[in-house]
Amino acid sequence: MPCDTFTPTSKVGEVALMNACMSAPVSLDDRAVYMRPLPDGLEPLASGRGRTLFTEALLAGTMEGYFRLAQQFHTQADPAFCGLGSLVCALNALGIQPMRRWKGIWRWFSEELLDCCKSLEDVRRVGLTLDEVACLARCSAVSVTVQRASPANGDVIRTHLHEAATRSDGPVLVANYSRRAVGQTGDGHFSPIGGFHAGTDQVLVLDTARFKYPPHWMPVDLLFRAMQERDPVTAQPRGWLLLRSPDPTATGEISGGPGSLS
């Protein structure tokens, strides 16, 4: 009796259905992939070592930005939605109120609301560039600093990482980097950064593609080199976004240090 076609009419029937479903053969699609192992040198957050790094960073005060991101942490809804998924985490963590209804009576950021700069179908087909994610953030009334990674602004990334990691009311940093350059599969990717461990000079990458890689620790120098890889769509280096809650007195202009875009 196929377990997906039988409707039980009694408790005995429910038990029979449960037993039938448990004993039914499961067909595994061998063309589909369930996660991938992290490359050597990237420590999963949930491992013993990963948890030790988290505890040490927490005690050192460099995980202050983690908790609001963690409570809004979100798995991207499509393999190409890393930019959208990272932005959803950041916007909700910053407490930005969307001016559009999500579902029911609720206003809440989800990926389907982030379509002001590029259609969701186009994002699903080709993804997003750094400028396009910045455009989506601006549409949501966030203060945006855009930085393209280069050897000239290596000190800027550390300043921004420190600010995002040490302030519970500070900005959210979203990294745009090449997965290939850090030993992972794929290429261009976006992820929020959840904290910093000064002793080992590593950041906590909150990978929104949780179906592929778990949150993990990554050396800052490795991440920064991966940010300098060029996006084939724009022929420009990748980089990062620093997103802040809007300042009521601000004019809406984008500010930034060396390498920033206006």
Per residue in 91-109, pLDDT tens?
999 999 998 899 999 999 9
Instruction: Decide if 257 is inside a domain.
Output: no
Instruction: Decide if 61 is inside a domain.
Output: yes
The one catalytic residue among 189, 197, 216, 231: 189
| In a shared domain, residues 19 and 149 | no
Q: What is the mean pLDDT of residues 196-214?
A: 98
| In a shared domain, residues 9 and 111 | no
- Cα distances from 61 to residues 54, 111, 124, 227, 243, in angstroms, run 11, 31, 38, 26, 20
* Residue-level pLDDT at 100: 86
Phi-psi region of 74 (alpha: psi -120 to 50; beta: other; left: phi over 0): beta
| In a shared domain, residues 146 and 202 | yes
| In a shared domain, residues 96 and 161 | yes
How many domains does the chain contain in total? 2
| Catalytic annotation present for 82 | yes
| Catalytic annotation present for 189 | yes
| In a shared domain, residues 196 and 111 | yes
Which band of pLDDT confidence, cut at 50, 70 and 90, is reported for residue 29? Answer: confident
Percent of the chain with pLDDT over 70: 83
| In a shared domain, residues 141 and 18 | no
Structural domain that includes position 5:
1-32
* Residue-level pLDDT at 3: 44
User: Residue 173: how many CB atoms within 10 A of its CB?
Assistant: 27
| In a shared domain, residues 27 and 48 | no
| Catalytic annotation present for 29 | no
| In a shared domain, residues 55 and 23 | no
Instruction: Decide if 135 is inside a domain.
Output: yes
| In a shared domain, residues 26 and 49 | no
| In a shared domain, residues 20 and 71 | no
Instruction: Decide if 138 is inside a domain.
Output: yes
The one catalytic residue among 82, 160, 216, 231: 82
Instruction: Decide if 149 is inside a domain.
Output: yes
| In a shared domain, residues 89 and 20 | no
How do beta strands 236-237 and 143-148 pair? unpaired
CATH number of the domain encompassing residue 132: 3.90.70.30
Which band of pLDDT confidence, cut at 50, 70 and 90, is reported for residue 30? Answer: confident
Contact between residue 97 and residue 140 where contact means Cβ atoms under 8 Å apart:
no
| In a shared domain, residues 8 and 122 | no
Indicate the pTM of the whole model.
0.84
Instruction: Decide if 4 is inside a domain.
Output: yes
Q: Smallest Cα–Cα separation from 53: which of 201, 182, 168, 158? A: 201
The one catalytic residue among 74, 160, 197, 207: 207
